[in-house]
Amino acid sequence: MKRFLPLIIAVCACLLPLFFPSCANTTQAPSGGKKDTIPPYIIDIKPLPGVVGVPLKGATFAFTFNEYVTIKTPQNIFLSPPLRRPPKSRLRGKTLLVSFEDSLQANTTYTLSFTDAIADANENNPFPGYTYVFSTGEQIDSMMMTGTVVDCNTLAPIKGATVLLHKDLGDSAVFLKRPYAATKTDDWGFFVLPYIQDTLYRLYAIKDANNDNIYDAETEQVAFIDSLLRPVMVAGDTVREMLKYDMLDTVRCLARRSEHELKVFREKPSKQYIVNKVRTSERSAYLTFHAPGAWIDSLWIRGWRDDQLISQFNILQDSLELWINSRRAAPDTMRIYVNYRMTDSTGRLVPTQEIVKLPMTRENRTYSKSSRRDLKREDTTCVYTFKAEPENVEQDGFVLEFRNPIITEHFDSVEFKVINTRQRETRAEFTVEQDSLNLRRYILRPKDKLQSGFEYSMKLPYRAFRDINGFWSDSTIVKVSLPTDETLSVLNLELSGVDRKIIVDLLGEKRDRVLRTYVTDRDGTLRFPYLKAGRYSIRITEDGNRNNIVDTGSLLERRQPETVVFVELSGSQYIDIPASTELAQPVDVGTLFNKPQQP
């Protein structure tokens, strides 16, 4: 099909201004003058693109460039549909030769994509990429499909994700079979699957750690579209979505039509068994299960009564902490009998008893005759942490967390004092709340509103608490004052239209850390005080199952991760907060969740 070649050369020539406007010698590094900034481009292809009747074995394709190039990332020379082994690529002069070790399929349209695999040999200018099409049958399939792959929590685009298109509509196909078509996402998380058949498909995306184009639920992340899809766009070399752009050209990259958005998540493991067991001290241990929601029928420790055992699951119920509430000498080997539901070879949960044996180690043993002189203060004391942060004390209070569960407490002996701006000291009242998810953690909250310029101190007296080892606590005092830096700012989030339970997170510019969190199911104002000048994001997650955490999805259950949206201000998902400012940001939650989100 010789009509394709002039078009390709014309397209390559047109693409050059999209990257760099200057000219330079493209065969060798210049000895002076302007630096070579022009990317390489293709000047000849053999056989011509669109060729049909390609043999199933022994086919080699030659792509000749205008200058010497290098293969930067061979794995990004990507064949779709993929074979068991990736394409082989080698250079001969200015020509890139691509061949295949496995046999091609009969009557199949293939695409060979270069993405960012090639660069010039002198200045490392990247080749913008190219998609070559050929067929082992008598015709080239003509349809295409586009979309974007993003992270489910940050909505940030994911570069290099593998997008899989399956004609096998069964739920197990993505776990067992190579796809009908596949491609990689670019810097914007954008993908195009060109030259595909006009039929029904299932669409997935994975972070393919081993590059086998098959989803491994144990190690890889996944995304999927709920419904069956049929392509509606027609492929072609001049179609905007198929052109290659400079990834820094925001306008052109965002102008491409993205038909589908796939949100990548880490699926919770489905196979259940005890994966880890550790003895943390003479009288404590923990068990970790492979999957959440561990189903324990009974558990006991040999030599101890049931009422002497304290246990606590984490919120996902995949990690269990155990303590023995007794001061009797602990055995050298702790034997834990666990009757639980374990996944068998057929994938069913079956009743199983596992005896976990945890020997005493030198680090676990507090009273060792040979090491009494090595005892540290924390070895004979009720250990705890007690803290209050100026920026968060109004919301979080004073946080007291013990290393081991306590069996005696005297919160009524705790002294809470306030020193006003005139240095007058008074006693104040507080409440005590045990954390519902951590029995060793307590929140002490002042009853009265905290005042700027006041100093607040909370003193834990000596022997106020006693833990399961019989150790008493030392005394300590924590002092805190609200920040007085006049450059700090306040963000007031005015929520309306709240028709569901939501989790509201304040994130920094990188979106890699949660700074503050609220959980609510009603209209009202959420206050974020004491913010330094900078860029922030407000993430709102729909808490569909009302468990106060952000839940991931499930491919087998066809359940998407909980929906995440970001508050926009002036068309941006970032909020610029200047110094010494109090901002009010109205948010209509119902409208926000019904509005398409841009990555």
CB 134 within 8 A of CB 47: yes
Do 10 and 41 fall into the same domain?
yes
Instruction: Return the residue matching tokens 């046999």.
Output: 103
What contacts 352, CB < 8 A, 6 or more positions away? 339, 340, 341, 342
Same domain, 10 and 130: yes
Cα–Cα dist 60/68, whole Å: 20
CA distance linking residue 104 with residue 550, whole number of Å:
44
User: Is residue 373 included in any domain, yes or no?
Assistant: no
152: in domain = yes
Give the tokens for residue 394.
Answer: 């109004």
Cβ neighbour number for residue 472 with a 10 Å cutoff: 14
Same domain, 495 and 458: no
Same domain (yes/no): 496, 572? yes
Q: 3-class SS at 166?
A: strand
Asked if 150 and 252 sit in the same domain, the reply is yes
Domain check: are 314 and 403 in the same one?
no
Sign for the CA dihedral angle at 17, 19, 22, 26 comes to negative
Instruction: Tell me the C-alpha distance between 529 and 104, whole Å.
Output: 62
Report the CATH number at residue 336.
2.60.40
Element (H, E) at 396: helix 393-396
Which residue from 156, 153, 229 is spatially nearest to 193, judged by alpha carbons?
229
Please, are residues 135 and 51 in contact by the beta-carbon 8 Å criterion?
yes
What's the pLDDT at 599?
44
Q: What DSSP character marks residue 293?
A: S
| pLDDT value of residue 222 | 97
State CA 543 to chain mean position distance: 17
Domain boundary among 116, 135, 154: 135
Q: Which domain holds residue 447?
A: 379-481
Say yes or no: 99 and 124 in one domain.
yes
DSSP 8-state symbol, 243: S
Instruction: Choose one of 232, 259, 286: the last residue of a domain.
Output: 259
Residues 6+ apart with CB under 8 A from 215: 164, 174, 175, 204, 206, 222, 555
- Dist CA 293 CA 319 (whole Å): 9
Contact 107, 81 (CB under 8 A): no
Question: How many Cβ atoms from other residues are within 10 Å of residue 115's Cβ?
Answer: 23
Residue 163 lies in a domain: yes
This prediction has a pTM of 0.81
Q: Which of 448, 454, 449 is nearest to 420 (CA)?
A: 454
The pLDDT of residue 13 is 43
Q: For the chain (length 599 residues), average pLDDT per consecutive 10?
A: 45 44 37 70 95 96 95 90 93 96 96 89 87 96 97 93 96 94 95 96 95 91 96 93 90 95 93 95 94 95 95 95 92 96 93 96 64 68 96 96 96 97 95 95 97 96 95 97 95 95 94 93 96 95 90 90 89 90 93 70
Q: Is residue 265 part of a domain?
A: no
CATH of the domain at 217: 2.60.40.1120
Residues 93 and 171 grouped into a single domain: no
State the amino acid at position 508 in one-letter form: G
In-domain check, residue 565: yes
User: Is 508 within 8 Å of 526 (Cβ atoms)?
Assistant: no
Residue 54 maps to a domain: yes
What's the total number of domains in the chain?
5
Q: Where are the alpha helices (DSSP H) in 36-185?
A: 173-176
Does 18 share its domain with 128? yes
517, amino acid identity: T
> Which residue's entry shows tokens 């043993």?
365
Amino acid found at 65:
F
Q: Which residues contact 204 (CB under 8 A, 6 or more apart)?
A: 163, 164, 165, 166, 174, 179, 215, 222, 223, 224, 225, 262
Same domain (yes/no): 252, 335: no
Asked whether the beta carbons of 406 and 471 are under 8 A apart, the reply is no
pLDDT at 9: 46
Measured CA to CA, the distance from residue 394 to residue 447 in angstroms comes to: 10
Strand residue runs (E) in 95-178 = 95-99, 109-113, 118-120, 131-135, 143-151, 162-166
Lookup: tokens for 123:
């200045």
- Can you give the pLDDT at residue 573? 84
> For residue 325, which of 439, 474, 460 has the smallest C-alpha distance?
439
Q: Helix, strand, or coil here: 594?
A: helix
Nearest CA among 582, 588, 393 for reference residue 495 = 588
Say if residues 92 and 68 touch (Cβ distance below 8 Å): no
Is residue 77 located within the same domain as residue 49?
yes
Task: Say if 543 falls within a structural domain.
Answer: yes
Domain's final residue, options 135, 166, 186: 135
State how far Cα 53 lies from the chain centre.
44
Alpha carbon distance 131, 149 (integer Å): 20
77 domain-assigned: yes
Side chain identity at 172, as an amino acid letter?
A: S
Same domain, 519 and 466: no
The domain that contains 420 carries what CATH number?
2.60.40.1220
